Chains A and B, each alone.
Chain A
Amino acid sequence: MEHARHVFRVVLVLLLLVIAVVIGRSFLIPRSFGTYGNYRFDNVAEQAAARPPLHAGAKSCADCHDDRYVAVGKGRHAKVSCEVCHAPLGKHVKDGDVVAKMPIDRSVRLCAYCHRKIDGRPAGFPQIVLEKHVDGGLGAKGCLDCHDPHSPKL
């Protein structure tokens, strides 16, 4: 075995390398890794706190705009959340204070998202052909010239 000494030398070097790698790696593994599975468990709480929710639902609007909320609830748009046509609550209110005016989109485009007649919408859903709905086309008039968006049925 004397002539095989160089083999032992190489194996020793290799062993030291492997040990160094294994020990080094254990320092680099994130602490919470593997708690419940092969992932960094701290991330679950990070994701839950990733951003403040932006949308709040129509009932949150009711706290300040209760009369409007009740009025909408009596009309055809009862199931349409305020945030669908206006912006998410988070853009209007932060920490209890109004930070920006709630955007009001009066364009035909907004109403057309739901009510323009296209294939695919369930039968019975109110749809109109934009060009034919009004004499002279909708370009001249907007939808809001005749309809109240909060209670649109005429």
Chain B
Amino acid sequence: MPEISGYAFPNDIHVHWSLMIVMYPYITGFVAGSFIVTALYHLFGKNEFRPIARLSLAASFCFLLVAGLPLQLHLGHPERGLFVMITPNFTSAMAGFGILYSFYLVIVMLEVWFVYRQEIIETARRSRGFKRTFYAALALGTYDTSPAAVAIDHRAVKLLSAIGLPSACMLHGYVGFIFGGIKANPWWSTPLMPVIFLLSAAVSGIALLILVYQVTAKLGRRAVQADTITSMARWLWFFLIITVTLELLEIIMLAYENSEAWHIISPLLTTRLQFSFISIQMIVGSLIPFILLFIVTVMNRYLHERVRNTLTFMASLLLLIQVFSMRWNVVIGGQLLSKSFRGLRSAYEPHLFGREGIVMAITLFLMPFVILYFFDRVLPIEAPPGAYPPEHDGSPEPGVSPGAV
């Protein structure tokens, strides 16, 4: 039984939205954030993002495949999970899941297909037997790799990126709306919530890709492109500043208005969430990465490559923790306060094992990387030479070694 300080409504003492509901926005955050990175190349043509364009697309796809699992694990009746698509009640933001998820899944799958189609066909041509049939089926029986067809592929990718970007943002933004639209809970109810979630997703996506890029480059003995890392660090810093500004703004506004909401949120932050919000989310998770990325961004040209990579790596690691703690503080924190506004319950301790336990959460986080490994086996993430159209200005990118795209 949880301990209550003050008075909580008798039904209000349970934390129904568990660790799984913290994991769900965490994972869809990676989906949206990775897609933002891939769109920076495929849609906005930022060439310094080319080395990670396919990696981020694949990452978005792999995390998307896992995204529905935390929800299924949380439901009281997982076997009825599909009801959301069969009898959706569209006044509920949660009902958007069915459509947004399916739509975005189709977009990502299409984009992957158009990005890889030429290589799929070429792989089919080079293979025999089962492998040939498999790749031919993957190509949906098409065989045209003429420059005209490939040019159409590239245009399709750009179009899909343009459609996919707002879709990815909606897929994660609606989660913020789920919380923001609950007028009963003052910790959740704010128009800023979808925006904060989305910007936080961008932070998590870029941070994740910095880590994955550096790790895979090291494992594959490839060079880490300096301008890629620099640009990612810059975008990361930018998104971090806006995210934390909005997160703090919400609290400052509540404190300034000093309404009944603040009277319960203030003790929530200073007692129950003191460690996870102030220590982890703000100081370790926001302030330190801010300083590290400040150094990387402002003092970039004085930095040795190794230092830059290390600082960015550390900042990204801390930011992954920050984004997780932000989800935790929003989801769990909102349930620690009672709707009576007079009581707080003791901290929520997730089980170690079990459907909604810590081991399950870690498994869910690692699963996309396992899928990514198999994705790479079927559709290699490292692009072969010539996979991308030549640069617009014709001059080689600084730091790009020939042949490594």
A and B touch in the complex (CB under 8 A): yes
Chain B residues with CB under 8 Å of A79's CB are none
Chain B residues with CB under 8 Å of A28's CB are 82, 86
Chain A residues with CB under 8 Å of B149's CB are 3-4, 6
Chain B residues with CB under 8 Å of A7's CB are 152, 156
Interface size of B as a range: 10 to 19
* Alpha-carbon gap, A6 to B86, bound state (A): 32
Chain B residues with CB under 8 Å of A30's CB are 87
The answer, yes or no, to whether A14 is at the interface (CB within 8 Å) is: yes
The answer, yes or no, to whether A47 is at the interface (CB within 8 Å) is: no
Q: Indicate which residue in B86, B144, B148 contacts A25 across the interface (CB closer than 8 Å).
A: B86
The answer, yes or no, to whether B140 is at the interface (CB within 8 Å) is: yes
- Fill in one digit per residue for B361-391: 1 if any A CB lies within 8 Å of its CB, else 0: 0000000000000000000000000000000
Q: A3-B146, A3-B149, A4-B149 are in contact. Are A10 and B110 (CB under 8 A)?
A: yes
Chain A residues with CB under 8 Å of B144's CB are 3, 5-6
* Alpha-carbon gap, A29 to B89, bound state (A): 13
* Alpha-carbon gap, A4 to B86, bound state (A): 35
The answer, yes or no, to whether A13 is at the interface (CB within 8 Å) is: yes
Q: Indicate which residue in A4, A6, A25 contacts B117 across the interface (CB closer than 8 Å).
A: A6
Q: Which residue of B lies closest to A24 (CB)?
A: B86
Contact indicator A4/B152 (Cβ below 8 Å):
yes
Interface size of A as a range: 10 to 19
* Alpha-carbon gap, A146 to B339, bound state (A): 45
Chain A residues with CB under 8 Å of B113's CB are 10
Please classify the interface of chain A as helix (H, G, I), strand (E, B), loop, or mixed, using the class held by over half of its residues: helix
The answer, yes or no, to whether B141 is at the interface (CB within 8 Å) is: yes
The answer, yes or no, to whether A9 is at the interface (CB within 8 Å) is: yes
Chain B residues with CB under 8 Å of A3's CB are 144, 146, 148-149, 152
Contact indicator B142/A33 (Cβ below 8 Å):
no
Q: How far does the Cβ of B158 sit from chain A's closest Cβ, in whole Å?
A: 13
The answer, yes or no, to whether B106 is at the interface (CB within 8 Å) is: yes
Q: Which residues 58-104 of A have a CB within 8 angstroms of B?
A: none
**Chain B residues near A (Cβ < 8 Å):** 82, 85-87, 89, 91, 106, 110, 113, 117, 140-142, 144, 146, 148-149, 152, 156
Q: List 10 A-B residue pairs with CB atoms under 8 Å apart, sorted by A's residue number.
A: A3-B148, A6-B117, A6-B149, A7-B152, A9-B142, A10-B110, A25-B85, A28-B86, A38-B89, A40-B87
**Chain A residues near B (Cβ < 8 Å):** 3-7, 9-10, 13-14, 25, 28-30, 33, 38, 40
